[in-house]
Amino acid sequence: MSGMNLVRAYGDTTGDGMVQLSFTLPVPAGPRAEAAAAAFAAKMGLDPALVVHAKAMGPDFTFFVVYGRSSVVIDLDEVHVQEREFPLLTTKEINLMVRSRLRRKLVVVGGTVGTDAHTVGLDAILNVKGFAGEKGLEHYRELRVVNLGAQVPAARLVERAAQERADAILVSQVVTQRDAHLHHVQEVATALDEHWPRARRRPVLVVGGPRFDPAKAAEIGADRVFAKGTTPREVASYLVHALVAVQPTAATAGAGR
């Protein structure tokens, strides 16, 4: 390592390595629980590990906040992130490209899958009200949006996409217990493979949620993964990049549909 881009956590002074973490242990609140929390944090490498907050979570669990020093050093030269490979277009540019190149409305079907009842992220991208000062995909004249809402079975989502002749499927997942978000997306990907023969172009599968890793889209069967903070314009720009920019004529766009 060159040493020029090495960083440590910042707490009280630059480079002191101090970090704060929170967790819950299945131990009733009390001195023994706090000692267990300190020992747990110490085994994670914090030295010293100071329990600065403890709160009972019912009779059998305790929530902790621990403050301590970590020896971990990160070389920023070894940190890699997925860069956006497509231009961020304006609303006018997106509508113009869809109208002039696809020559029909671009169809998007979205929903949350399985037991996930959270629609805040889905609505932020699809609904007109949008997110972060940007209007959602329903605002774009050349996009037709079908929002199926929450708790949609994977097979039903894919069936509706076929009925609507969708160009893209948007899946939003917030529930992450036992990797439920990954399993549900994989169910959608499997249903897509089963529904669309290899000779036909299937809809683009776009996934979003706070616990997804954009670099691992292929591992879960998605074409694109968007992390938290993604805006509707980013999603719309990607759809143009993936579905419109490479299709010069309406005849090409409709081939195999």
Residue 85 in domain: no
Per-residue confidence (pLDDT) for residue 3, from 0 to 100: 53
Q: Looking at this protein, which amino acid is placed at residue 115?
A: T
Residue 70, H or E segment: none
Find the CATH number of the domain harbouring 216.
3.40.50.280
| Active site positions, annotated | 129
Q: Count structural domains, the chain.
A: 2
Question: Are residue 31 and residue 152 in the same domain, yes or no?
Answer: no
The pTM score is 0.72
End-to-end CA distance of the chain: 52
In angstroms, rounded to a whole number, what is the distance separating the alpha carbons of residues 89 and 101?
Answer: 15
Per-residue confidence (pLDDT) for residue 246, from 0 to 100: 59
Find the CATH number of the domain harbouring 45.
3.30.30.60
Residue 86 in domain: no
- In Å, how far from its chain's centre is CA 72? 27
Question: Are residue 119 and residue 199 in the same domain, yes or no?
Answer: yes
Residue 50 in domain: yes
Question: Are residue 41 and residue 108 in the same domain, yes or no?
Answer: no
Question: Are residue 64 and residue 182 in the same domain, yes or no?
Answer: no
Largest CA distance in the chain: 72
Question: Are residue 109 and residue 234 in the same domain, yes or no?
Answer: yes
Residue 84 in domain: no
Question: Are residue 250 and residue 149 in the same domain, yes or no?
Answer: yes
Per-residue confidence (pLDDT) for residue 155, from 0 to 100: 93
Question: Are residue 140 and residue 69 in the same domain, yes or no?
Answer: no
Per-residue confidence (pLDDT) for residue 196, from 0 to 100: 83
Per-residue confidence (pLDDT) for residue 253, from 0 to 100: 40
Residue ranges making up the domain that contains 242: 91-254
Positive or negative: CA dihedral 216, 219, 224, 225? negative
Q: What is the DSSP string of 171-207?
A: EE----GGGHHHHHHHHHHHHHHHHS-TTSPPPEEEE
Low-confidence ranges of the chain (pLDDT < 70): 1-3, 175-179, 197-200, 246-257
Domain edge (last residue) among 53, 76, 99: 76
Question: Are residue 228 and residue 169 in the same domain, yes or no?
Answer: yes
